[in-house]
Amino acid sequence: MVTENSKPRTVIDSPFGRIGIWTSESAICGLELVSNRCKLFPPRNPLAKNVVTQLEGYFANGHTQFDLPLSELGTPFQKSVWRLLRKIPVGQTVCYKDLAIKLNTSPRAVGSACRSNPIQIVTPCHRVVAKNDLGGYMGRTSGAPIRMKQWLINHERGI
């Protein structure tokens, strides 16, 4: 399980900072923004190499589709939100409220599930926005996470 104190097995540079990648032998378990002080670690197994290759493809072309085995630890509700996130078309955004209506829940509950998403970018919680602004990202409403969210949205839209 990816925790704040666990160390990623792979760390790469991205257009918006360093990304930590956690994998098991058979699935990606976590992908998130890490401190730029975190040492770079090349992928050490075939799955991690595949994750890096697909991420590099995505950074070159925002319309790249991910095809990776996922190991998402979460509640049944969180998993239902994450499945819906992966159905949002590239380059489009959806409001928290609209997802909440589909799931018969509240926008706040959707936001909480997005914040708990262990595999950012691949499970595109960045495509979920507030009615009048970007909303939050990684539990933050400013700073590096919001810059990352804006970059991802713009990149997918070809801006």
Map out the domains of the chain with their CATH numbers: 76-156 (1.10.10.10)
114 annotated active-site: no
List 29, 38, 95, 125, catalytic entry = 125
Q: Token pair 């009615």 is at which residue?
A: 131
Render pLDDT for 136-156 as a digit per residue (tens, 0 to 9). Answer: 898 888 888 899 999 999 999
Cα–Cα dist 15/123, whole Å: 18
Q: Return mean pLDDT, the chain.
A: 91
Residue 7 is predicted with a pLDDT of 62
Cα–Cα dist 48/147, whole Å: 26
Render pLDDT for 13-62 as a digit per residue (tens, 0 to 9). Answer: 999 999 999 998 899 999 988 999 999 999 999 999 999 999 999 999 99
Cα–Cα dist 133/96, whole Å: 11
Q: What are phi and psi of 150, to 5 degrees?
A: -65, -40
